[in-house]
């Protein structure tokens, strides 16, 4: 079955950077849009960033625009999330997800497959 495996989370200080990776298997990776979402304790899962299959089209939540960058390497079946200038409010479990079908990529329900998540904790 399809697998999405995230890595790269950790504990950092405010202002630091992290790069998350998500490796996909058992799907035609370049056909899928890929998204990053996050969920903090007691909150709903929220959109962070997404990229279409070719990688040429990206979108971001306003809260991360200018600080986070989503990219993908279709030769490695991997999507990345470069996170700079991290803030304590970025603390959450970060999930990658795959979508096939051209839906609204900001909506969790649009996605077909999800990873297990990786914890990002930013201390002040």
Q: Which residue has the tokens 């697998």?
A: 3
Q: Which residues pair with 35 in a beta bridge?
A: 50, 97
Q: What is the pLDDT of residue 54?
A: 79
What is the tens place of the pLDDT at every residue in 20-65? 999 999 999 999 999 999 999 999 999 999 999 877 799 999 999 9
Residue 57: exposure state from Cβ atoms within 10 A (0-12, 13-18, ≥19): exposed
Contacts of 42 (CB under 8 A, 6+ apart): none
For the residues 3-26, what does the mean pLDDT come to? 98
Greatest distance between any 2 Cα atoms in the chain = 40
Q: What is the pLDDT of residue 3?
A: 97
Q: What is the pLDDT of residue 37?
A: 98
């Amino acid at each position: 079955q399809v697998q999405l495996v995230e890595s790269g989370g950790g504990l950092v200080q405010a202002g630091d950077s992290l790069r998350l990776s998500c490796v996909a298997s058992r799907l035609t990776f370049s056909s899928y849009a890929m998204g990053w979402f996050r969920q903090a304790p007691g909150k709903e899962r929220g959109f962070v960033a997404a990229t279409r299959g070719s990688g040429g089209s990206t979108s971001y939540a306003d809260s991360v625009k200018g600080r986070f960058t989503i990219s993908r390497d279709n030769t490695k079946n991997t999507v990345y999330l470069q996170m700079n200038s991290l803030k304590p409010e970025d603390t959450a479990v970060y999930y990658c997800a795959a979508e096939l079908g051209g839906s609204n990529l900001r909506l969790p329900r649009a996605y077909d497959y999800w990873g297990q998540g990786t914890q990002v904790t930013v201390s002040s």
